[in-house]
Structure 1
Amino acid sequence: MSLLATLLSACAGKQLTPIATVKHVDLPKFMGDWYVIAAIPTGIETESYNAVESYQLNKDGTIATTFTFNKGGLNGPVKKYEPKGFVVKDSGNATWGMQFIWPIKAEYLIAYLDESYSQTVIARNARDYVWIMARTPKIKEDEYKKLTLFVKDLGYDISKLREVPHNN
């Protein structure tokens, strides 16, 4: 192998397998409030408490999103962000672009969704951020373990996973 080929392969690093999404998401059923149970958080949510992601389907097919949380403690100041979700065509409604700042759309992959639409895992191919969410602010310990194992199997470092405290 030539020196150039060796250097190029070393610089390429480890290629990650793309994350599989669920086959189909019934968007009206997915809408509503989702409590963030745990996350490998983005910079804005490292000190989040009572974190809730709410979705509303717009007439044009986009998703009005409201992300609220208390910063720094259960009774900390309320922070609110309103990104817009864009469902990727022919993705079974399981791949979205989430736009906080125009024109950038962050990847949003619905990697897990239980049949009752009560628990979900949102992932990214970069394995930088992940969210375990539920319709209730707390889930059973065995369910949490199952979902964290799922996240680990996706290729995430679960030592970075932060449980998000909730008042309820």
Structure 2
Amino acid sequence: MRRAALYLLLPGLLLLAACASTGGNAMPPLTTNAVVDLDRYMGRWWVIANIPYFAENGKVATADIYDRRPDGRIGNVYAYRKAFDKPEKTMNGVATVVPGTNNAQWTIAFFGGLVKADYLILEVAPDYSWALIGHPKRNLAWIFAREQAMDDAQYQQLRAKFAAYGYDPAKLQRVPQFPDQLGQPGFQ
């Protein structure tokens, strides 16, 4: 049974790896100058918006939860629901901070290292209430927040910040965090 599940999952994992390692633009790889206090960054971050891609499409009430591990790496739990009336599910990963990056660049491994993804913290609010996350190829992006709800003015401000990093902010879409957001304009 496990082997059959792996065979079903493998094509998706390979596609995820391809998405994480290919881009379609001629811009130089994205970098960050953010300085991140890892202790303040740990905890639950709600996924307010992202550039939709297959692994997160259709998910609601999503969050990333980080904790420091004794081995110096970071535990990464991606929590989600397939629908608001369904139970929360999780996917576990392990992140390694890239040395010399002010804790702003990570490599996250999922499925025992079978799938790896680069993770760049582009900006974090001074009070750690929100964060902008990118990828070197600019094909993935996220807006994180400590609170599950974000007013539209704050969201639009953060979304617009991605243009300075070479992203098309129009590609970002909100992730439904509450049932009344389903089907609303700008939401996945």
TM-score, length-scaled by structure 2: 0.76
Check whether the contact 2:132–2:142 (CA below 8 A) recurs between aligned residues: yes
Query: Alpha-carbon deviation of 1:97?
Result: 0.1
Counterpart CA distance in 1 for 2:79 and 2:25 is 35
Query: Alpha-carbon deviation of 1:80?
Result: 1.2
Check whether the contact 2:34–2:123 (CA below 8 A) recurs between aligned residues: no
Query: Alpha-carbon deviation of 1:26?
Result: 0.7
Check whether the contact 1:19–1:111 (CA below 8 A) recurs between aligned residues: no
TM-score, length-scaled by structure 1: 0.84
Counterpart CA distance in 1 for 2:56 and 2:89 is 9
- Is the strand fraction higher in 1 or 2? 1
Check whether the contact 1:74–1:165 (CA below 8 A) recurs between aligned residues: no
Aligned to 1:59: 70
Aligned to 1:80: 90
Alpha-carbon displacement from aligned partner over 1:93-147 (angstroms, at most 9, x marks no partner): 0000011142543110000101001100110121111110000011222211111
- Amino acid paired to 2:155: Y
Counterpart CA distance in 2 for 1:29 and 1:78 is 25
Percentage identity across paired residues of the two chains:
32
Alignment of 1:126 with 2:142, yes or no, is no
Check whether the contact 2:44–2:63 (CA below 8 A) recurs between aligned residues: yes
Aligned to 1:30: 41
Aligned to 1:99: 109
Cα distance change, pair 51–92 in 1 and its aligned pair in 2 (3 A): same
Check whether the contact 1:52–1:68 (CA below 8 A) recurs between aligned residues: yes
Aligned to 1:70: 81
Counterpart CA distance in 2 for 1:31 and 1:37 is 17
- Amino acid paired to 2:139: D
Alignment of 1:89 with 2:90, yes or no, is no
Cα distance change, pair 134–14 in 1 and its aligned pair in 2 (3 A): closer
- Is the helix fraction higher in 1 or 2? 2
- Amino acid paired to 1:93: N
- Structure 1 stretch displaced more, 105-114 or 39-48: 39-48
Whose radius of gyration is greater, 1 or 2?
A: 1
Check whether the contact 1:121–1:133 (CA below 8 A) recurs between aligned residues: yes
Q: How does 1:86-165 map to 2 (within 5 A)?
A: 86-101=96-111, 102=113, 104-165=115-176
Counterpart CA distance in 2 for 1:166 and 1:62 is 29
Which secondary structure does the structure 1 equivalent of 2:66 belong to? strand
Check whether the contact 2:34–2:121 (CA below 8 A) recurs between aligned residues: no
Which secondary structure does the structure 1 equivalent of 2:163 belong to? helix
Q: List gaps (5 residues or longer) in structure 2.
A: 1-23, 180-188
Q: List gaps (5 residues or longer) in structure 1.
A: 1-12
Which secondary structure does the structure 2 equivalent of 1:136 belong to? coil
